[in-house]
Structure 1
Amino acid sequence: MLAVLLLLAVASLAGTGLQSIGLQAGTATAAGSDACPGKPLVMGTSPDYPPYENTDAKNGGDIVGLDIDIAKSIAAKLGCKLEITGMDFNGLIAALQTNRVDFVMSGMSVTDERKQSVDFSDTYYAARNTIVSKKKNAYETLEQLDGKRVGVQLGSTQENAVAGLKDATIKKLNRIPDLIQEIKSNRIDAAIVEDAVALDAIVANPDLAITMLPAENAQEGYAIAFPKGSALTPAFNEALQDMDASGEKQAIVEKWFGKHEAVTAGKHTIDFSTLNGYTSYILRGVFVTLLFTIVSALLGFIWGTVLSLFKLSTVKPLVWFATVYTSVFRGTPLLLQLVLIYYATPQLTGYDIPPLMAAGLAFGLNSAAYLSETIRGGIMAVDRGQREAAMALGIPYRTMMISIIFPQAVKNILPALVNECVALIKESSLVSVIGVTDLLRRASVVQAANYRALEPLLFVGAIYYVLVLILTSLARLLERRLRRSD
């Protein structure tokens, strides 16, 4: 529990992908007073879709874009505070259904399939599908993509646009920058994306070309998604109508659709100068990674010790519990456990568990299953004669375990404990799937900004390696000290 309390105390300082924006209108509307009764509105978005939403890594890491400005304006009109949380696009609907967010605004198109799961506001922007490909082999029609390798964003309406292609290999990825990278790496021939996003991509990548598809391939339009039966829907529709009437929404559209920052993305050599302005943003992820690792290791060690004692107990129910627990957590994927804890906790208990806390619990509970066997082996490796001597002297069992047996067991299993901590540092990259801005998530943000994957990934890989070297060096010093104390 100490680990959990520590995680709760510092999660708000760790940059878990949550952006809080205080917006207070001078006079809240009647709808607004019902929209946020004593709590902020939480918006879910996938910040890798410029100009609609992306992370401004060079200027503090805030999420910015067309959707963000519209959401801020609506929140102000309703007299509400706004919080923005970033996650992968394919997790947005699940976040709505589990009440992790109040609404989703992420360039999401209205489809019949989505209408079965969520409610939509009025359309606030209509876009057209676009083919993105290399200039030297540009495609002008969907028919030309028959038999080709075509990429689309997972969970997007572009999946429907390519459904009729003949003999085409469809590759579905979570993020638009990954699709652009696949085209540049010749892993796919083309990608279908929305027009404004395509324009942003070719400004940053002059070796690419785009072709607007005919109007019959146009999307139904982007809208704001809400949980089924949400009272926010009419209030947001009223605010959107006010923005239309005043011209405010059109001004926001013109602001972002005319904003394209050219970056050097066409080079084939390694150029670390492309990280200028981003290094401080990436390095802030070290704190998140270390915090997560320390808390997970602490929770895993404490709970693993308890489980090992359960397994050594003569009380059968405790032995059965520890055995089943270990079997379940070692027999299911860690990523599945992480996602279950993050999404199932609010659905089953009503508690909106913070992403970093969910990650700490998942990794700590999983680590405990492995450490319980390691600790049990260490305890059993201690000479049995020491237990018999302690019992002959009348030393209580608890005192014997804490003062005599356990210190020797820890000394024996110290290399295994260090290996577990090293594994936690490296596996911490999995937490990016629930929006925790750790090192790997920040590298992905930089890749989305400059369309270069190698440099940020190498930089983050070097940071992970240095962290592991520091940990192993400290472990060697501790081992030498323990040997001298024998």
Structure 2
Amino acid sequence: MNRNKLRIGPIWLIAFAVLAPTLGSSASYAEAAPAAGQKIILGTSPDYPPYESVDAKNNGEIIGMDIDIARYIADRLGYKLEIAPMDFNGLIAALQTGRVDFVMSAMSVTDERKKSVAFSDSYYAARNTIVSKKTNGFYSVDQLSGKVVGAQLGSIQDLFADTIPGASHKKLNKIADLIQELNTGRIDAAIVEDAVAIDMVSANPGLTINFLPAEEDDNGYAVAFPLKSGLVDDFNRVLAEMQTNGELQKIIDKWFADMEPSNNGSSGSLNIDFRVLEGYVPYILKGIYVTLLFTLVSALLGLIWGTILSLFKISSIRPLQWFATAYTSVFRGTPLLVQLTLIYYATPQLTGFDIPALLAAGLAFGLNSAAYLSETIRGGIMAVDKGQREAAIALGVPYRKMMARIIFPQALRHILPALVNEFVALLKESSLVSVIGVTELMRRADVVRASTFRSFEALLLVAAIYYVLVLVLTSLARVLERRLRRSD
């Protein structure tokens, strides 16, 4: 690879972070509608039942009212529908960077969002609802003055909560997080949408709900598209057809057959009842493979690239030293989460390559790990007695053979504990990749939390799995370390 390109890489990553909003707002990835028979990609956040959720007890398929509507429209227009799950607050970015063709995720039409995306006609209108504890229920907005009110980040309820006079506003990523904060008393009330509120109370009888009057300027939920998308008119035509022939109401009735909360849920107290995980454990366990695969790919990339960077740093060639130093500075000086989202969203916009989420995660973590490992490996090389190198040179041993057979084996003995620590960190930090939709352990735990509206049980199970994986990794490292010592 050209060295100049390597030196420019981190610079354009930083530049993109500054320019991304401008680039995204002017992009028009889908000015012409795809031809019939082609694939169109739906972006959604499947943690908001009954609109979209993961059927974790069965085949892990994404289901819900929005999904049924999307499938019907895609079928009528002759498209093959593909669903791309991701966090709600990343949906608009996915539209702007061309990762998805449209978004359906109980997304309300607002003037602010209209500046970034195009909307279809509304297909459903919901009511804002106050959820609070039965022991201290709130039944009007006026009662929330001076209280701490929670809402899901990026939702229309998030915007509504900002307008409550005298209330403190706490923004959280997941509906399940709102329930946890309610049960622990960190927030006094949550503002959610009516159907979601009913499911919350059904699973947590210690909570109560109160429906708020519909807002006069509420435009309801609609399909979101990139600006100037050629799909808007086609979707509006099918939505109008669905309203006329009753298909839209049929789908709504399917998912909203009972709009009254039931009392078959578990207690809303802080007790732990692992029975709520019945049927979900196999779904969670499938995430182990993805987590281990991601960790292995990241570790190999980090080790190989970190070794190369360490050689650059001890090289007598100044440009290589400058590059390795600058690379380490950039990747150690910027948050890993920023690097991950930049690689995931910037790659398709700048190169046209629709990088898979798992590949983007492996690259981000591998490149970041390499920056740290390069210092560790360099320290291990420098810790090898200089006499070893001088003796090899005196015997005429070529540089590559000297490094591979003499220096590196000895350096490995010095840095093995540090390498194990880095790999353990990679394994645990893999939970971050859930933000771009990789279905590893943490993402699957979030899905279960969204389905059961309980957090402790799923999180404790995932924590136990991570702990066992770390124990296995450290045990293997001890075996390797003992063998290396015996070979001295």
TM-score (normalised: structure 2) = 0.90
Tell me the CA shift for residue 219 of structure 1: 2.8
Q: Could you tell which deviates more after superposition, 212-221 or 421-430?
A: 212-221
Cα deviation for residue 111 of structure 1 reads: 0.6
Give the alignment of 1:42-53 within 5 angstroms. 42-53=41-52
Aligned ranges for residues 295-334 of structure 1 at < 5 Å?
A: 295-334=297-336
- Verify the 8 A CA contact 1:123 1:221 in the aligned structure 2: yes
Query: Using the alignment, how far apart are the partners of 2:163 and 2:77 within structure 1?
Result: 43
Kindly provide the amino acid, as one letter, of the partner of residue 405 in structure 1.
I
Q: CA deviation at 1:37?
A: 5.8
- Do structure 1's residue 415 and structure 2's residue 417 form an aligned pair? yes
Instruction: Name the counterpart of 1:145.
Output: 144
Matches within 5 A, 1:123-162: 123-162=122-161
> Which residue identity does 2:327 align to in structure 1?
Y
Residue 65 of structure 1 corresponds to which residue in structure 2?
64
1:266 counterpart = 2:268: yes
Following superposition, the deviation at residue 485 of structure 1 comes to 1.4
| Shift in Å, 1:39 | 3.9
Kept in 2, the 8 Å contact 1:127–1:218? The answer is: no
2:466 to 461, 464, 467: 464
Shift of 1:321: 0.2
**Structure 2 residue 43 is the aligned partner of structure 1 residue 41:** no
User: 395, 398, 401: which is aligned to 2:400?
Assistant: 398
SS in 1 for 2:98: coil
SS of equivalent to 2:465: helix
Is 1:105 aligned with 2:104? Answer: yes
Local SS of the residue matching 2:222: coil
Distance across 2 between alignment mates of 1:349 and 1:409: 39
The alpha carbon displacement at 1:36 in A equals 4.3
CA contact (8 A) 1:46 1:106 kept: yes
CA contact (8 A) 1:265 1:452 kept: no
The equivalent of 1:243 in structure 2 is: 242
Q: Tell me which residue corresponds to 1:284.
A: 286
Given that 2:205 and 2:265 are in contact with CA atoms closer than 8 Å, whether structure 1 keeps it comes out as no
Fraction of identical pairs, as percent? 68
SS at match of 1:171: strand
The aligned amino acid for 1:460 is: V
* Pairwise CA distance, 1:217: 5.9
SS of residue paired to 1:121: strand
Q: Aligned partners of 1:268 and 1:326: how far apart in 2?
A: 45
Q: Which range moved further: 192-201 or 66-75?
A: 192-201
Tell me which of 348, 351, 354 is aligned to 1:352: 354
Letter in 2 for 1:181: Q
Segment drifting more, 418-427 vs 212-221: 212-221
On the 8 A contact 1:265/1:451 being kept in 2, the answer is no
The one-letter amino acid paired with 1:92 is: L
- Alpha-carbon distance in 1 for matches of 2:172, 2:272: 25
CA distance in 2, matches of 1:37, 1:257: 32
Q: Residue in 2 aligned with 1:441?
A: 443
Contact residue 312 and residue 376 of structure 1 kept, 8 A: yes
Match of 1:201 in 2: 200
Using the alignment, how far apart are the partners of 1:50 and 1:218 within structure 2? 25
Question: Paired residue for 1:185?
Answer: 184
Distance 1:62 1:314 in 2: 56
Q: What is the CA distance between 1:178 and its match in structure 2?
A: 1.4
TM-score (norm 1): 0.91
- Which 10-residue stretch deviates more, 153-162 or 295-304? 153-162
Partner of 2:255: 256
Distance 1:216 1:477 in 2: 65
Match of 2:53 in 1: 54
Deviation by residue 1:158-183 (Cα, 9 ceiling, x = unmatched): 23323332321101111222112211
- Give the C-alpha shift of residue 309 in structure 1: 0.4
Residue in 2 that maps onto 1:210: 209
The alignment yields a C-alpha RMSD, in angstroms, of 1.7
Q: In 2, distance between residues paired with 1:480 and 1:160? A: 58
What's the offset of the Cα at 1:218?
6.9
Q: Do 1:118 and 1:227's aligned partners in 2 also have CA atoms closer than 8 Å? A: yes
Return the letter of the residue paired with 2:372.
Answer: Y
Note if 1:85 corresponds to 2:87: no
Q: Secondary structure at the match of 2:423?
A: helix
Aligned residue for 1:470, secondary structure, equals helix
Deviates more, 1:323-332 or 1:402-411: 402-411
Matched, 1:375 2:377: yes
User: Which of residues 445, 454, 457 in structure 2 aligns to 1:455?
Assistant: 457
- In the alignment, what sits opposite 2:218? 219
Question: Residue 427 of structure 2: SS of its match in structure 1?
Answer: helix
Q: Given the superposition, is the C-alpha separation of residues 64 and 364 from structure 1 closer, same or farther in structure 2, using an over 3 Å criterion?
A: same
**Cα pair 1:356 1:436 within 8 Å, conserved:** yes
- Distance in structure 1 (CA, Å) of the matches to 2:462 and 2:207: 28
- 1:175 corresponds in structure 2 to 174
Find the counterpart in structure 2 of residue 230 from structure 1: 229
Structure 2 Cα separation of the partners of residues 289 and 248 of structure 1? 41
1:215 maps to a residue whose letter is: A
For 2:155, what is the secondary structure of its paired residue?
coil
Letter in structure 1 aligned against 2:282 = S
Q: Aligned-pair distance for 1:34? A: 4.7
1:413-438 CA deviation, whole Å, 9 max, x = no partner? 11111111111011111111111111
Report the AA paired with residue 91 of structure 1.
G
* Cα deviation, residue 119, structure 1: 0.3
CA contact 1:157–1:219 (8 Å) conserved in 2:
no
Q: Would the aligned equivalents of 2:130 and 2:211 in 1 still touch at CA under 8 Å?
A: yes
Rounded to whole Å, the distance in 2 between the matches of 1:377 and 1:37 is 59
Q: Answer yes or no: is the 8 Å Cα contact 1:51–1:65 preserved in 2.
A: yes
1:144 and 1:255 map into 2 onto residues whose CA distance is 35
Write the deviation string for residues 5-62 of structure 1: whole angstroms up to 9, x where unpaired: xxxxxxxxxxxxxxxxxxxxxxxxxxxx953466411111111111101111111211
Tell me the distance in 1 between the aligned counterparts of 2:187 and 2:156.
19
Q: Which residue identity lines up with residue 346 of structure 1 in the other structure? A: P
What's the offset of the Cα at 1:288? 0.7
Change (3 A) 1:457 1:37: same
The range that moved more, 433-442 or 135-144, is: 135-144
The 1-side partners of 2:448 and 2:267 are apart by 12
Q: Give the secondary-structure state (helix, strand or coil) at the position aligned to 2:123.
A: coil
Q: Which moved more, 1:159-168 or 1:111-120?
A: 159-168
Decide whether the 8 Å contact of 1:129 with 1:218 is kept in 2.
no
Number of the residue aligned with 1:339 = 341
Over 3 Å counting, the alpha-carbon distance change for 1:392 and 1:157 in structure 2 is same
Q: Secondary structure at the match of 1:107?
A: coil
Q: Secondary structure at the match of 2:41?
A: strand
CA offsets, 1:181-221, max 9 Å, x none? 21122111111111111122122222211111123367321
Q: Which residue is 1:482 aligned to?
A: 484
Task: Quote the Cα distance in structure 1 between the aligned partners of 2:479 and 2:386.
Answer: 29
Aligned AA (1:107): A
Cα distance in 2, alignment partners of residues 144 and 97 from structure 1: 39
Residues 428 and 466 in structure 2, CA contact (< 8 A), matched pair in contact too: yes
Specify the code of the residue in structure 1 equivalent to 2:60: G
Q: 1:122, 1:217 → 2: CA distance?
A: 17
